[in-house]
């Protein structure tokens, strides 16, 4: 019956734990999920333009029409646990670290009673049982508190052994500010420790850096010719040459880029409708060139199919850098970092190997530069801001701004291409039977 009170369910099967995603991130503040084994995942907090929880290239079964992404994809094919940056909690006992997930404990159970998720960790080889209560500050009738972009992870440790145990409960967080925009923006990451009476916090931020004068830019290809010149063509999606903007179908809208012609494998493909044009495939391959600058800057649009609607940099036949569209006909500036390959011989290939929805790629204006392409000030990027790992209830016993074996309270600063991981921890001493 709809009105009959149900019974609490506790999950312990690993497959079930991997298919749990309970929202714990605050209303209107993106989406952060709690997994069945206590990991935080998805982290849709970067203001990306995307459809559904986790856009994926999955075909709808049975040939049914309509949007599968928004029409039940995650029920038919549950989204896998996705963590776009490093973040974890762990328990350290006697020099042995155990991740607080099912890789660190043999027995993990999940009891989901929204808005609180309860996870219990047990292991015959571990004297301490850990219980987690995870939630966002959800308060019915209080919109301001309920929409805080915060997740509370409350751990209780219980000593089930017959001896006193000392342990360290710790958390790690990678600085993921500007996670997407750092690929084409000039800046650096900064981690610092803030100590207050009631908490200790690891604060992660980003800041712009002044660009030094680089070598003159090199225009590699502007696609303003009537044919593809020395580029080789495969398939029929790219036609006989770059297309004039005036000949692009009106339904594609303004495609961006520069000049009067662009590469667009939808507009140049044979066909009379969207589906037939997107079904065509092909490839453009550039002549060889020597990498003489740190970045390859270009305009890219079209499908977001990594490896199938993309621009690749090839060295000795292997892809060393790649860029794809964002399921948008309008091209945007992107940068491929090839600084590690200066002096090497390479080729570019523009690939349309997707015959389904958004099976096309748009490209224009390829330039070699010492600086990445940037759409504007770093502070105006959609993923600019701060993120924080805070330990409540007084001072932390361990606080590091970057991975280290000892306390390091000095701010840690690193370039955008460096992983900057900090952490906090608290030591506890538990007598037999004691909980804290």
Same domain, 336 and 264: yes
Look up the CATH number of the domain holding residue 302. 2.60.120.200
* Domain end point (choices 347, 369, 391): 369
Domain-located, residue 309: yes
Same domain, 360 and 268: yes
Note whether 307 and 158 are within 8 A (CB): no
The answer for 172, left when phi > 0, alpha when psi is -120 to 50, beta otherwise, is beta
Domain-located, residue 44: yes
* Residue 194: per-residue pLDDT: 95
* Distance spanning both ends of the chain, measured CA to CA: 41
How many CA atoms, within 13 angstroms, populate the side-chain half-sphere of residue 333?
A: 17
Same domain, 154 and 225: no
Domain-located, residue 426: no
CA distance 388 to 400: 13
**In terms of residue numbers, what domain contains 53?**
1-160
51-78: pLDDT as tens digits: 667 766 555 665 544 445 566 677 777 8
Beta-strand relationship, 398-400 and 361-369: unpaired
Q: How much is the mean pLDDT over the chain? A: 91
Domain-located, residue 204: no
What pTM does this model have? 0.80
* Domain end point (choices 328, 354, 369): 369
Polymer length of the chain: 436
Count CB-CB contacts under 10 A for residue 295. 24
> C-alpha distances in angstroms, 420 versus 301, 340, 405, 416?
30, 20, 15, 9
* Domain end point (choices 309, 336, 369): 369
- Among 116, 107, 105, 157, CA closest to 8: 116
- Rounded to 5°, the CA angle 259-285-362 comes to 40
Same domain, 131 and 280: no
Domain-located, residue 236: yes
CA distance 384 to 380: 7
Reply yes or no on whether the pLDDT at 376 is more than 80.
Answer: no
Same domain, 122 and 236: no
Domain-located, residue 179: no
Domain-located, residue 397: no
> What is the number of structural domains in the chain?
2
| Cβ burial, residue 193 (10 Å; 0-12/13-18/19+) | buried
Structure token digits, residue 92: 């350290």
Same domain, 141 and 222: no
3-47: pLDDT as tens digits: 888 888 899 999 999 999 999 998 888 899 999 999 999 999 999
How many CA atoms, within 13 angstroms, populate the side-chain half-sphere of residue 168?
A: 15
Note whether 30 and 40 are within 8 A (CB): no
Domain-located, residue 328: yes
Same domain, 232 and 154: no
> C-alpha distances in angstroms, 217 versus 295, 301, 371?
10, 22, 9
Note whether 326 and 304 are within 8 A (CB): yes
Same domain, 245 and 324: yes
Residue in the structure block whose two tokens are 């538990």: 430
218-231: pLDDT as tens digits: 999 999 999 999 99
């Amino acid at each position: 019956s709809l009105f009959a009170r149900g019974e609490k369910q506790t999950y312990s099967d690993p497959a079930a734990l991997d298919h749990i995603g309970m929202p714990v991130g605050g209303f209107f503040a993106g989406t952060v999920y709690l997994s069945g084994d206590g990991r935080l995942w998805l982290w849709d907090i970067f203001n990306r333009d995307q459809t559904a929880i986790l856009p994926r290239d999955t075909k709808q079964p049975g040939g049914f029409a309509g949007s599968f992404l928004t029409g039940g994809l995650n029920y038919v094919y549950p989204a896998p646990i996705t963590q776009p940056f490093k973040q974890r909690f762990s328990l350290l006992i006697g020099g042995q670290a155990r991740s607080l997930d099912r890789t660190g404990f043999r027995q993990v159970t999940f009891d989901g009673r929204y808005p609180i998720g309860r996870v219990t960790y047990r292991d015959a080889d571990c004297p301490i049982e850990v219980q987690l209560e995870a939630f966002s500050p959800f308060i019915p009738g209080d919109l301001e508190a309920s929409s805080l972009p915060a997740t509370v992870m409350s751990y209780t440790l219980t000593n089930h052994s017959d001896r006193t145990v000392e342990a360290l409960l710790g958390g790690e967080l990678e600085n993921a500010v500007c996670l997407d925009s750092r690929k084409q923006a000039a800046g650096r990451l900064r981690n610092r420790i803030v100590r207050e009476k009631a908490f200790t916090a690891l604060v992660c931020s980003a800041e712009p850096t002044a660009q030094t004068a680089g070598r003159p830019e090199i225009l590699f290809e502007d696609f303003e010719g009537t044919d593809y010149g020395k580029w080789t063509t495969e398939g029929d999606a790219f036609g006989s040459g770059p297309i004039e903007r005036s000949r692009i179908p009106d339904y594609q809208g303004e495609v961006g880029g520069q000049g009067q012609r662009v590469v667009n494998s939808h507009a140049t493909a044979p066909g009379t409708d969207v589906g037939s044009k997107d079904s065509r495939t092909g490839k453009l391959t550039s002549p060889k060139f020597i990498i003489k600058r740190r970045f390859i800057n270009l305009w890219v649009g079209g499908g977001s199919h990594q490896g199938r609607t993309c621009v690749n940099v090839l060295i000795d036949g292997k892809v060393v850098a790649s860029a794809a569209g964002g399921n948008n006909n309008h091209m945007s500036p992107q940068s491929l970092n090839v600084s590690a390959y200066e002096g090497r011989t390479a080729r570019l290939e523009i690939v349309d190997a997707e015959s389904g929805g958004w099976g096309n790629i748009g490209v224009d204006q390829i330039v070699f530069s010492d600086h990445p392409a940037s759409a504007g000030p770093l502070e105006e990027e959609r993923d600019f801001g701060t993120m924080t790992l805070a330990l409540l209830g007084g001072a932390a016993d361990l606080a590091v701004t970057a991975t280290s074996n000892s306390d390091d309270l000095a701010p840690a600063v690193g370039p955008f291409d460096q992983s900057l991981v900090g952490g906090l921890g608290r030591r506890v001493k538990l007598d037999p039977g004691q909980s804290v």
